[in-house]
């Protein structure tokens, strides 16, 4: 493969979409003009008191080593080498190193001093000085909670200073950043104004108070060695100017702080960088909530990329309870190292929840990717994550999603075992016993005894892969995961649906240009499939197979695909021929349900323990079908019938399977509190509300006409306001 030619788009063309609102929370602190929508929301600023500071001085600790401070977007980030941004002048062909990119909403700092130091260094590079316009502390405390740093040309002279002989330096400049202490005890930038109304004067700026405090000398001192055992990552969300570049003319391969392999980069062919750039720019024009973030090394080489469209961001809010990682391209060494985040919608069909291009499969890379994805999802992790058996991925998930249930995807584990044992003389017999051991065991002791018998019978005790998988059995054997929700993704029939999202469209030699073209086609077909399934579920009537009311009840509520799976359980109720009360503990009764395994009378009989709480109508079967598949099993249904319940209790009818499930594919951009002094929040709030009208307007022709009329009336009202101010 050959390196791509270096190119550098303009500052804004490849910068993350300025309209994203993944980090703006509750509005600005010094604004008392807040509008609340859709109910009361917590506002942690109510207990804060604003204190104005008139001076130019910066409060806080000594400013030594100011320019060494780094910034990051993700709150729980860990430290790595700093990435630089290179600006290329196309006309002169001159590269100019910029160590401090412009601030953007979402940057986070370890401390207030770090934030001040960064903005001060950025200002010195451009040629202006800064000062603290205002700051505020928590009531009855000296703990600083927020601040506004502004250009020192902000404002005008006071009346009492009007006759002063001092030269007027203030021009009413509006350039500023607003900082706020967030829950992670980091300082976040939640408002930025970059425009200055004056020319820069580097010489005068160097003599300003803020810059005089900076340590004289080389600000690019060697940083201390990074402990490679510390699993760390930073997400840089800066205006990436040399995002696709392959090296800088100023790089020094022999730098003493080069502790990592800087040659590690995304393997792109000639022209691939332009393909990525063109695609991202084009999508941002039509999808304002399209999000992407890039990981660069010290030389500006592209290592990893993550992106997600607005529909996928919104879909996560509905179907993000269980997420599988599709690593087909990585595992099979495709030319394009794509990883896809995949969920399951209300029809049991796969839905895309984000994509990444990865330079490698190391711990550092996976931590970066997962933090990028989690940041985009407003910090809301899934309940369950399904992956292959990659150790680096396992460690990264423990780091980034410590409260999520991480499980290996069972069909992949089973296939890997069978592939590794294909040379067994009794392969067919082993396959049968393995499946019965894994799928039919309903108690832990039962599985462990069956596994031991299997190992002895086939002489597989020395088989290394089986030994490793057995050590990890709690991550893939169903009997250990009965309290884990899988939304049906534990089923073997889901292999083709989820494990390879782009299956049939992508091959080992698929080029990046072909991939992005195919990517849009696949998404379009998935969206069309979901719309057609919605229509079919809404308009068609399912054929009932029994007289059981549970079947009729869910035929009216569930989508066709999910109802048919549940219908199989209702039909299988006939195989349960005996229900006996085992013991009672207050309102909780334990039943033993006998089931005939197969249609023949002499087939094996299995006992299933079902607990039923008469006070709350809660039911739980030892087979845990509800957690695995998202609907009740035949054993639980028999117990409900035995206790005279005419309908399935509401808690066992999941909204995610309903045919009338309301889905507005507009991402939740955070708080509904809007700071009316912040134009960025104007856009985000209006866009979100408008897209809700659009989604509702697509339901039918009548809905469309009402929505269109509402838009026309609203536009006329807005224009009347504009005319009043002319």
* β-bridge mates for residue 350, sequence order: 344
d(CA 342, CA 349): 10
371-395: average pLDDT: 91
- Predicted local confidence at residue 633, as pLDDT: 96
Lowest-confidence pick of 71-85, 150-164, 283-297, 485-499:
71-85
Containing H/E element for 35? strand 34-35
Q: How confident is the model at residue 22 (pLDDT cuts 50, 70, 90)?
A: very low
Handedness of CA 153, 157, 162, 163 (dihedral sign): negative
Containing H/E element for 449? helix 444-458
Backbone φ and ψ of 156, nearest 5°: -140, 170
CA distances (Å), origin 627, targets 296, 484, 499, 622, 663: 41, 6, 20, 11, 23
The DSSP code for 652 is G
Condensed to tens digits (0 to 9), the pLDDT of residues 625-660 reads: 999 999 999 999 999 999 999 999 999 999 999 988
CA distances (Å), origin 373, targets 286, 307, 308, 323, 475: 21, 8, 9, 12, 23
Angle CA 349–352–358, to nearest 5: 140
Containing H/E element for 397? helix 391-400
The DSSP code for 707 is H
Radius of gyration of the CA atoms of the chain, in A: 30
Average pLDDT value for the chain: 75
pTM beyond cutoff 0.85: no
Condensed to tens digits (0 to 9), the pLDDT of residues 677-687 reads: 767 667 767 87
CA distances (Å), origin 635, targets 301, 445, 558, 583, 589: 58, 21, 20, 17, 14
d(CA 115, CA 144): 13
Condensed to tens digits (0 to 9), the pLDDT of residues 457-476 reads: 998 888 888 999 999 999 99
Please give the distance of CA 683 from its chain centroid, rounded to a whole number: 22
Containing H/E element for 723? helix 701-724
447-463: average pLDDT: 92
Handedness of CA 379, 380, 383, 386 (dihedral sign): negative
């Amino acid at each position: 493969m050959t390196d791509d030619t270096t190119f550098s788009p303009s500052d804004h063309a490849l910068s993350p979409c300025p309209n994203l609102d993944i980090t703006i929370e509750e509005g600005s602190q010094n604004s008392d003009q807040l509008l609340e929508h859709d109910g009361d929301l917590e506002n942690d600023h109510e207990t804060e008191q604003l204190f104005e500071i008139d001076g130019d001085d910066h409060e806080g600790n000594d400013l030594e080593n100011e320019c060494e401070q780094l910034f990051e977007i993700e709150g729980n980030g860990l430290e790595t080498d700093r990435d630089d941004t290179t600006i290329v002048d196309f006309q002169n062909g001159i590269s100019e190193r910029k160590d401090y990119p412009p601030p953007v909403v979402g940057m986070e700092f370890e401390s207030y001093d770090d934030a001040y130091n960064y903005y001060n260094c950025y200002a010195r590079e451009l040629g202006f000085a800064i000062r603290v316009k205002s700051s505020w502390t928590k009531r009855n405390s000296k703990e600083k909670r927020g601040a506004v740093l502004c250009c020192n040309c902000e404002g005008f002279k006071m009346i009492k200073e009007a006759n002063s002989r001092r030269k007027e330096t203030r021009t009413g400049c509006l350039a500023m950043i607003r900082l706020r202490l967030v829950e992670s005890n980091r300082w976040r930038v939640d408002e930025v104004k970059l425009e200055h109304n004056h020319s820069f004067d580097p010489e005068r700026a160097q003599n300003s108070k803020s810059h005089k405090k900076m340590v004289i000398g080389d600000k690019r001192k060697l940083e201390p060695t990074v402990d490679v055992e510390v699993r760390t990552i930073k997400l840089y969300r800066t205006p990436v100017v040399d995002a696709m570049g392959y090296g800088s003319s100023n790089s020094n391969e022999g730098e003493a702080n080069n502790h990592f392999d800087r040659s590690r980069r995304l393997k792109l062919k000639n022209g691939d960088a332009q393909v990525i750039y063109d695609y991202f720019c084009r999508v941002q024009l039509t999808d304002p909530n399209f999000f992407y973030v890039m990981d660069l090394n010290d030389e500006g080489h592209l290592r990893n990329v993550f992106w997600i469209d607005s529909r996928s961001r919104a879909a996560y809010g509905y179907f993000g309870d269980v997420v599988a990682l599709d690593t087909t391209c990585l595992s099979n060494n495709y030319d394009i190292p794509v990883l896809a985040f995949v969920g399951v919608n209300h029809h049991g069909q796969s839905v895309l929840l984000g994509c990444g291009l990865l330079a490698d499969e190391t711990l550092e890379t996976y931590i970066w990717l997962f933090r990028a994805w989690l940041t985009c999802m407003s910090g809301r992790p899934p309940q369950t994550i399904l992956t292959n058996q990659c150790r680096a991925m396992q460690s990264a998930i423990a780091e980034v999603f410590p409260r999520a249930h991480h499980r290996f995807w069972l069909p992949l584990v089973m296939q890997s075992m069978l592939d590794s044992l294909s040379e067994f003389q009794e392969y067919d017999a082993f396959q049968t016993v393995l499946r019965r051991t894994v799928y039919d065991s309903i108690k832990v002791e039962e599985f462990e005894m069956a596994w031991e018998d299997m190992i002895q019978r086939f002489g597989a005790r020395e088989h290394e892969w089986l030994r490793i998988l057995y050590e990890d059995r709690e991550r893939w054997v169903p009997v250990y995961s009965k309290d884990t929700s899988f939304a049906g993704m534990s089923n073997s029939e889901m292999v083709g649906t989820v494990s390879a999202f782009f299956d049939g469209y992508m091959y080992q030699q698929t080029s990046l240009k072909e991939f992005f073209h195919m990517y849009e086609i696949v998404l379009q077909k998935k969206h069309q499939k979901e719309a057609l399934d919605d229509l079919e579920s809404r308009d068609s009537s399912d054929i009932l197979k029994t007289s059981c009311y549970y079947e009729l009840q869910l035929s009216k509520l569930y989508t066709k695909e999910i109802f048919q799976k549940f219908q199989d359980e209702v039909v299988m109720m006939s195989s349960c021929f005996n229900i006996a009360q085992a013991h009672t503990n207050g309102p909780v009764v334990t039943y033993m349900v006998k089931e005939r395994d197969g249609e023949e009378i002499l087939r094996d009989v299995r006992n299933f323990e079902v607990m039923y709480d008469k006070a709350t109508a809660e039911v739980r079967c030892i087979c845990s079908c509800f957690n695995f598949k998202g609907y009740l099993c035949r054993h639980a249904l028999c117990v409900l019938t035995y206790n005279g319940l005419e309908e399935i209790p509401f808690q066992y009818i999941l909204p995610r399977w309903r045919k009338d499930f309301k889905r507005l594919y507009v991402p939740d951009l955070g708080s509904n509190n809007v700071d009316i002094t912040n134009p960025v929040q104007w856009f985000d709030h209006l866009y979100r509300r408008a897209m809700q009208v659009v989604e509702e307007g697509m339901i039918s022709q009548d809905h469309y006409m009402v929505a269109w009329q509402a838009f026309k009336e609203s536009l006329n009202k807005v224009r009347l306001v504009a005319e009043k101010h002319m």
